[in-house]
Amino acid sequence: MSTTTGRRVSEARERLLRTASALFYAEGIRAVGVDRVVEEAGVTRATFYRHFPGKDDLVVAYLGVVHDAVRDAAGEEAGAARLRRTVGAMTETLCSPGFRGCSFINAAAEFADPDSPVHRAVAAHRGWLSALFATDLAAAGHPDPDGAAAHLMMLRDGAMVAGYLADPEVARATLLRGLDAILDEAG
């Protein structure tokens, strides 16, 4: 198998990443050690270290996979349609079986040090998502796209937490109503 750049993708690396992603999301990053990931992925420690110099590198790769999924769901064309598609995909996720919150919010809670590579990956994703929201809101004609994007990020964060800790359908409906209200301000 190969990537879009033509480089060969290691099956062992992909297995490590899939295994770690499932475990990190279900149980928490700090709760899962490298030994467990190695064992459940069916590889050796040497194979692990050949692909990931340390656990933080594996965590950053895991967050990269999640980021890529959000980016791919968003698509390219800016505006209200992309914003609705992106937020709609988020609401579907928070109502899915096994939903345990936002991978980025969860990682931020476990890696509070702003100099941590994991914390930096979280900040980069959140910066990207906020910029996406602002770009889409500007394209939709919102008079304050940056302020509205900050508002939408807070609504999204709240929905992600409520989708796990409370009623996911209420969280979904609340986020969608909030998005409608923000887009109504665009005229």
Longest dimension (CA), the chain: 58
What the chain holds in terms of domains, given with CATH numbers, is: 1-52 (1.10.10.60), 56-185 (1.10.357.10)
**HSE, side-chain direction, 13 A CA sphere, residue 93:** 19
Neighbours of 39 (CB within 10 A): 12
Predicted TM-score of the model (pTM):
0.91
Within 8 A by CB and 6+ apart from 89, the residues are 70, 73, 74
Within 8 A by CB and 6+ apart from 138, the residues are 78, 145
- pLDDT tens series, the chain, 187 aa: 334 444 567 999 999 999 999 999 999 999 999 999 999 999 999 999 999 999 999 999 999 999 999 999 999 999 999 999 999 999 999 989 999 999 999 999 999 999 999 999 999 999 999 999 999 999 999 999 999 999 999 999 999 999 999 999 999 999 999 999 999 999 7
Would you mind telling me the total number of residues written for the chain in this entry?
187
178 within 8 A of 152, measured Cβ to Cβ? yes
